[in-house]
Amino acid sequence: MLKKLVIVLFIVLLASGVFWVGLSIYGNFLSGGNDSVNIPSEATHKAVLEDAGEVIYIISPEYIDDYIIAHGYWELFKGKYIYRDKELMLDEATVGNVRIEALQ
């Protein structure tokens, strides 16, 4: 009885290991992961909305008083950056801490 239990346990652990390896290969190599997201080539700046944990890409932000205005921006949607042809006004009172970084 104990021998059968050990054999069944070994088979379950072996199958779990094979399944885990398969998922790891798929997740790291075949699906592309987060590294496959293409940054828009037209963007000149990256706006990091630290409190929300979001990143948007913009072209030449305009600074007026305490506001950062983006005339069009790219946001991550379903794994791709899509362009939104809208004005976006960022201020720390509304969206929290905003960090603007120039892209090289």
- Per-residue pLDDT at 32: 55
pLDDT of residue 56: 92
Do 63 and 90 lie in one domain? The reply is yes
Average of pLDDT values for 72-83? Answer: 88
| pLDDT bucket at 21, cuts 50 / 70 / 90 | confident
Q: Strands, E, within 1-104: which ranges? A: 45-49, 54-58, 62-64, 67-77, 80-90, 98-102
pLDDT of residue 14: 93
Q: What residues make up the domain containing 9?
A: 2-34
Residue 104 pLDDT greater than 60, yes or no: yes
This prediction's pTM: 0.61
For residue 79, the domain's CATH number is 2.30.30
Q: What are phi and psi of 59, to 5 degrees?
A: -110, 125
Mean pLDDT of the chain: 85
